[in-house]
């Protein structure tokens, strides 16, 4: 499928009801902790699902730096972070974070819309995924203090049915979660909140 057809298809799907929690639930590490609503004290955050028009239509993940105090240290995620006072919207937050973390220029990005917000109990963030695209085949560069690697993945690759598996995951607190569903993406393990967000995105893409 061409890049333009992917974009048109997704724009059409964003005008329909989102899969929401039914898609999140498929990849939830701990089913009982899938909250329908965030508590009032939750912090707002946003991640960007960027679509790139390169040789093939792609999206981008990052591998976070390993930090002892970071509950998501070393994990694969979409670029993003906490809503700051200077951010006029969650979309602005997602674009700013993507610019800081991978060098994606906001002025060259078109925002399409939001996916379903997801509450992450371990970090107390209510995360809003923002879907966007750029026609630039950008030279993405990881921010050295925050990002270990930028991972570009073809959308056609993500639509393969063989990517989902289960494994045991050792958490930041040293607890081992059993039979956690994850996406196996180019030898990387994508689980937790990112897998849940990706599940909803792929539900839109594959419809």
Region 87-111: mean pLDDT is 97
Q: Which tens digit of pLDDT belongs to each residue from 61-71?
A: 999 987 655 55
Q: Where are the domains of the chain?
A: 3-32+42-161+192-206
Q: What's the CATH superfamily of 3-32+42-161+192-206?
A: Nucleoside Triphosphate Pyrophosphohydrolase (3.90.79.10)
Predicted local distance difference test score (pLDDT) of residue 196: 96
137: phi > 0 → left, psi -120 to 50 → alpha, else beta; which?
A: beta
Confidence of residue 84 (pLDDT cuts 50, 70, 90): very high
Query: Which of 27-36, 155-164, 171-180 is least confident?
Result: 27-36
pLDDT at 55: 82
Tokens of 160: 């393969």
3-state class (DSSP) for residue 170: strand
Mean pLDDT of the residues in the chain: 90
In eight-state DSSP terms, residue 14 is: H
What band does 72 get if pLDDT is binned at 50, 70 and 90?
Answer: low
Q: Estimate the crossing angle of helix 192-206 against helix 3-14, to 10 degrees.
A: 100
Which pLDDT belongs to residue 68? 56
What are 153-175's pLDDT values in tens digits?
Answer: 999 999 987 899 999 998 777 78
Neighbours of 21 (CB within 10 A): 16
Q: How far is CA 124 from CA 65, 119, 120, in A?
A: 20, 7, 6
Average pLDDT over residues 196-203: 97
- Compute φ and ψ for 32, nearest 5 degrees: -70, -15
């Amino acid at each position: 499928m061409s890049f333009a057809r992917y974009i048109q298809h997704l724009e059409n799907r964003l005008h329909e009801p989102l899969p929401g929690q039914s898609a999140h639930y498929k990849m939830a590490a701990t089913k009982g902790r899938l909250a329908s609503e965030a508590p009032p004290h939750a912090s707002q955050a946003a991640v960007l699902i960027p679509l790139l028009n390169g040789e093939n239509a792609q999206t981008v993940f990052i591998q976070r730096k390993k930090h002892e105090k970071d509950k998501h240290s070393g994990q694969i995620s979409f670029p993003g972070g906490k809503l700051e006072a200077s951010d006029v919207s969650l979309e602005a937050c997602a674009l700013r974070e993507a610019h800081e973390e991978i060098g994606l220029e906001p002025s060259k990005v078109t925002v399409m819309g939001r996916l379903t917000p997801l509450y992450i109990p371990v970090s107390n963030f209510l995360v809003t995924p923002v879907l966007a695209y750029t026609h630039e085949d950008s030279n993405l560069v990881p921010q050295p203090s925050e990002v270990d690697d930028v991972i570009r993945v073809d959308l056609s690759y993500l639509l393969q049915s063989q990517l989902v598996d289960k494994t045991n995951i050792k958490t930041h607190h040293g607890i081992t979660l059993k039979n956690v569903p994850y996406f196996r993406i180019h030898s990387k393990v994508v689980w937790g909140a990112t897998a849940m967000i990706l599940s909803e995105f792929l539900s839109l893409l594959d419809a």
